[in-house]
Structure 1
Amino acid sequence: MRIRPYISSKDYEYVSRWIDNERTHAFWCANLLPYPMTQKSFHDLLEKNAMDWTDSAYVATENSGQAIGFFCYSVNTADNIGFLKFVIVDKTKRGKGYGKEMLNLALQYAFQITGVKAVQLNVFNENTLAKQCYEKVGFVERKIDKDVFAYKDELWSRGNMIISKQSF
């Protein structure tokens, strides 16, 4: 597996196929995008986050070049902590170690190339499979905001997880 910058004209078709129901969509983007998302809405959000937070978008590919994962990454230079967002893996690859491998590559990049001391992310507690994947990589929960997101008739809690360079 490799990671490379997201190429909008090439990679959107893959990412959009991995989000095929409203619940997965809400888990993934906290409804910051309308469902179903469009190429324009997705790229507008990526551009906004690049301008506001210096986010960069990446895809994970198999050695053949086939996109199998996506994430955004930024660095808060004030506290030297990286932030992962919009993490998702091809739905046909979930539960097979691809997410863990992609996160390990993202963390290698974060620690070795961008030089951060830690990386954090947010995940809904109800997204148990994603949370378990993050824990397997070494992320630990440091804060939970209870009932902060409404999805249909449910209230979801959001956990903030972190991994330090020393524990990676």
Structure 2
Amino acid sequence: LRPYKPSDAAIITSWIKDEYRMRQWCADRYNSYPVTPEDMNCFHCRFMNGETSRAMTMCDGDEVVGYITMRVPANDRAEQRLGFVIIDDSKRGRGLGKALVSIATKFAFEKLGASKVSLGVFENNLAAIHCYEAVGFHRVTRAETESYLCLGEIWKCVEMERYGG
């Protein structure tokens, strides 16, 4: 896992094959499909400051195979929130998603001092939910369910978290 580089954008955006998967990945954070490398780099310039928000790229040797963001929600440095989790679609089924989330979670606990790591995932993304559960995340209930308008439908989020220790 290393810090995201602008040159990673062309590789990462090539993994997003249709708008449905794009929305599962980013909800409404990007305005239109397809997400271009320029869109992604612009997003990073605006929202990833390296302190309270960061983007990380997972590599297998020199090959980029995954991407994830981490941010401090609500100015609470005890929590890191994962987002924008994506793996090279041609390498699915090899455990890379579990590895990416595990490495990022370990980084959050050990390097960033988090005591909790959280994430939100759309309830229609069963493969991702299974991945997160497999690496120790548990569903939690919130007073209000987060939801987004995606492709003309309301998509509800499943809130998940994992505690360190």
Aligned to 1:130: 128
Tell me how far apart the structure 2 counterparts of residues 120 and 157 of structure 1 sit (CA, whole Å).
Answer: 16
Aligned to 1:156: 155
Partner of 2:120: helix, strand, or coil? strand
- Matching of residues 20-59 of structure 1 within 5 Å: 20-33=17-30, 34-51=32-49, 54-59=52-57
Kindly state the Cα deviation for residue 154 of structure 1 after the two structures are TM-superposed: 2.9
How many percent identity over aligned positions?
30
So what's the TM-score if we normalise by structure 1? Answer: 0.88
Tell me how far apart the structure 1 counterparts of residues 69 and 82 of structure 2 sit (CA, whole Å).
Answer: 6
Could you tell me whether the CA contact under 8 Å between 1:46 and 1:55 is conserved in 2? no
Kindly state the Cα deviation for residue 47 of structure 1 after the two structures are TM-superposed: 2.1
Counterpart of 1:165, as a letter, is G
Aligned to 1:70: 67
Could you tell me whether the CA contact under 8 Å between 1:80 and 1:117 is conserved in 2? yes
Counterpart of 1:158, as a letter, is C
Tell me how far apart the structure 1 counterparts of residues 152 and 23 of structure 2 sit (CA, whole Å).
Answer: 13
Kindly state the Cα deviation for residue 92 of structure 1 after the two structures are TM-superposed: 1.1
Partner of 1:57: helix, strand, or coil? strand
Could you tell me whether the CA contact under 8 Å between 2:117 and 2:163 is conserved in 1? yes
What per-residue deviation string (whole Å, max 9, x for no partner) do you get for residues 72-98 of structure 1? 112345351011110100001122211
Q: Which stretches in structure 2 are left out of the alignment for 5+ residues?
A: none
Tell me how far apart the structure 2 counterparts of residues 79 and 56 of structure 1 sit (CA, whole Å).
Answer: 13
The answer to which of 27-36 and 73-82 deviates more is 73-82
* RMSD, aligned α-carbons: 2.0
What per-residue deviation string (whole Å, max 9, x for no partner) do you get for residues 89-113 of structure 1? 0001122211001111111111111
Kindly state the Cα deviation for residue 44 of structure 1 after the two structures are TM-superposed: 1.7
The answer to which of 107-116 and 73-82 deviates more is 73-82
Tell me how far apart the structure 2 counterparts of residues 143 and 151 of structure 1 sit (CA, whole Å).
Answer: 22
Aligned to 1:140: 138
Q: Which stretches in structure 1 are left out of the alignment for 5+ residues?
A: none
Tell me how far apart the structure 2 counterparts of residues 79 and 114 of structure 1 sit (CA, whole Å).
Answer: 8
The total of aligned residue pairs comes to: 162
Tell me how far apart the structure 1 counterparts of residues 93 and 112 of structure 2 sit (CA, whole Å).
Answer: 29
- Closer, same or farther: CA 36–137 of 1 in aligned 2, 3 Å: same
Could you tell me whether the CA contact under 8 Å between 2:28 and 2:148 is conserved in 1? no
Kindly state the Cα deviation for residue 147 of structure 1 after the two structures are TM-superposed: 7.7
The answer to which of 29-38 and 115-124 deviates more is 29-38
